[in-house]
Amino acid sequence: MTTKQERAVWIDGRLAELYPETPVPLDHRDAYTLLVAVLLSAQCTDKRVNLVTPHLWALGATPEEMMRVPVAQIQGVIRPCGLSPQKAKAIAGLSKILVETHGGVVPRSFEELEELPGVGHKTASVVMAQAFGVPAFPVDTHIHRLAQRWKLTNGKNVEQTEADLKQLFPREHWNVLHLRIIFYGREHCSARACDGTVCEICRTVVPTRQRAVKTKK
């Protein structure tokens, strides 16, 4: 496979075989609870977030309920997720804005989502893709690392990786494909289990590689 496009076509097909089902890893009930769960997942595992969110929803599962919960109480519940002071303040703040500005409804645009406290482009992309079905390609650390190992991007930064992947893969595949790459990265091509020379996809798309790949941040 000499070109990025050849590698992309093969990877797309292989991941579809490996992961025909693409459940969203974060437990949620609707767009609001997904938004909060994604916010909590920054520098935290999905598994831990899923342990914490039932306790958080007990305090408030809608923006109207959550905006009435003291920030200190939110922080006490979400502390296991890390960065709890910032995340608690963001959850309280975005809940208030959703009620006061958006009628208690999560907006369906990147621009409006990214204006909310604690919501960056990746979080907005996940919500747009998984809550509203809008094609997006959220790039997390797994995807950024694997795209470099598979020689799909130069990995200069996550913005460049996202742009490169959007060019290589069909738009209608983006929403399932970003999940498939995450699943594969966790199961077969993690930072420790593979260095770019071990897993099936790395060995197939770059068969001549001899040395470990140093991932750019």
pTM: 0.93
pLDDT digit string (tens) for 72-127? Answer: 999 999 999 999 999 999 999 999 999 999 999 999 999 999 999 999 999 999 99
Question: Quick one: which H or E segment has residue 36?
Answer: helix 31-40
Contact at 8 Å (CB) between 137 and 125? Answer: yes
Domain spans of the chain, in order of start = 4-22+137-205, 31-130
pLDDT of res. 2: 85
Output the DSSP codes for 57-109. HHH-SSHHHHTTS-HHHHHHHHGGGS-HHHHHHHHHHHHHHHHHHHTTS--SS
pLDDT of res. 40: 98
pLDDT digit string (tens) for 32-85? Answer: 999 999 999 999 999 999 999 999 999 999 999 999 999 999 999 999 999 999
Q: 141 pLDDT band (50/70/90 cuts)?
A: confident
CA–CA distance, 52 with 99 (Å, rounded to integer): 24
Q: What is the CATH number of domain 31-130?
A: 1.10.340.30
Q: What is the CATH number of domain 4-22+137-205?
A: 1.10.1670.10
* Arithmetic mean of pLDDT over the chain: 96
Residue 173 gets which letter from DSSP?
A: G
